[in-house]
Amino acid sequence: MSKERTDQRNQSYAKVLLDNSQPAYIRDISARGFRVYSPVPLPYKEGSTITCLIIPTDSEGQSFKISGEIRWNKLDAEGEDIMGILISSFEDKKGESLYHSLNMRFSKKIGSV
């Protein structure tokens, strides 16, 4: 697996429920995937497939489901488990649209105030 990143990664935040049972949250997002953070170790290995219920934190945001592949899983210096997830599919077109809206909400436009 190449360590070269081709997609811009944006700082973001949303709650996530992994496989309907493991709570976590997104801090970084790109067009093709995202990082998930958890204060407890997560029982997933690289290459595993996972379902993610994304729960935006704003009151207008609708929840949606994504399936993805775990590209890597590690503990950071603070003891948080961090996983990189590559999106493999969306539950439906509405979920795909909601994900792209979440990504755009946190993207920074050059020259904007």
Q: For the chain, what is the domain count?
A: 1
Residue 30 belongs to domain spanning = 10-105
pTM of the model: 0.80
What CATH number is associated with residue 98?
Answer: 2.40.10.220
Tokens of 75: 């503990």
Supply the mean pLDDT for the chain. Answer: 83
pLDDT for 21 beyond 70: yes
Give the pLDDT confidence score for residue 38 in this predicted structure: 92
Residue 56: what residue type?
P
Q: Does the residue 3 lie in any domain?
A: no
> CB 66: neighbour CB atoms within 10 A?
22
Contact 35, 5 (CB under 8 A): no
Q: Does the residue 23 lie in any domain?
A: yes
Residue 73: what residue type?
N
Q: Does the residue 4 lie in any domain?
A: no
Residue 99: what residue type?
Y
Q: Does the residue 113 lie in any domain?
A: no
Bridge partners of 87, per DSSP, are: 68
